[in-house]
């Protein structure tokens, strides 16, 4: 009677696939971040505002700044995922210790929790 051993980590080939996906996402996120930063700088360097435009511009600058910060956070999470790939711990749920399904990692490549892990975490926060 053979028992199927549960996989404890992704293979080197699978990790390489994830690495390529994450590197592409980092490149795209950095381009978005640079674009947002440029938008903020263009707004700051344009001194020809009327009072109404100034309010709208300030709001737009604030929105762009928040979006830029979110992009930077996303880039940092993706970079942390690359470190986990190098350490061969990528794809392991930090709560359950089980592998996060490949489908989830393809959708959210910086995930550190499986759905089960997220549910456990949410229950512990409620208590």
Distance CA 15, CA 4 (A): 22
The pLDDT, as a whole number, for residue 3 is 46
**Reported pTM:** 0.80
Distance CA 47, CA 57 (A): 11
The tens place of each residue's pLDDT in the chain, 127 residues long, gives 444 567 889 999 999 999 999 999 999 999 999 999 887 776 455 555 454 456 667 787 888 899 999 999 999 999 999 999 999 999 999 999 999 999 999 999 999 999 999 999 999 988 7
The pLDDT, as a whole number, for residue 126 is 85
Where are the domains positioned within the chain? 11-90, 91-127
Question: Contact, 78 vs 29, CB < 8 A?
Answer: yes
Question: Contact, 57 vs 81, CB < 8 A?
Answer: no
Where do runs of H (alpha helix) occur along 1-127? 12-44, 51-86, 102-107, 115-126
Question: Contact, 29 vs 67, CB < 8 A?
Answer: no
Instruction: Count Cβ atoms below 10 Å from residue 26 Cβ, excluding itself.
Output: 19
Distance CA 21, CA 29 (A): 12
Distance CA 106, CA 11 (A): 15
């Amino acid at each position: 009677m053979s028992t199927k051993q549960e996989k404890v980590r992704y293979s080197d080939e699978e990790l390489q696939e994830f690495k390529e996906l994450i590197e592409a996402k980092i490149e795209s996120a950095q381009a978005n971040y640079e674009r947002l930063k440029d938008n903020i700088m263009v707004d700051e360097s344009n001194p020809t505002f009327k009072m109404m435009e100034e309010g709208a511009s300030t709001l737009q600058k604030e929105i762009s700044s928040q979006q830029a910060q979110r992009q930077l956070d996303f880039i940092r999470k993706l970079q942390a995922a690359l470190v986990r790939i190098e350490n061969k711990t990528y794809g392991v749920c930090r709560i359950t210790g089980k592998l996060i399904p490949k489908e989830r990692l393809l959708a959210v490549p910086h995930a550190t929790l499986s759905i089960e892990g997220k549910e456990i975490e949410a229950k512990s926060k409620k208590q």
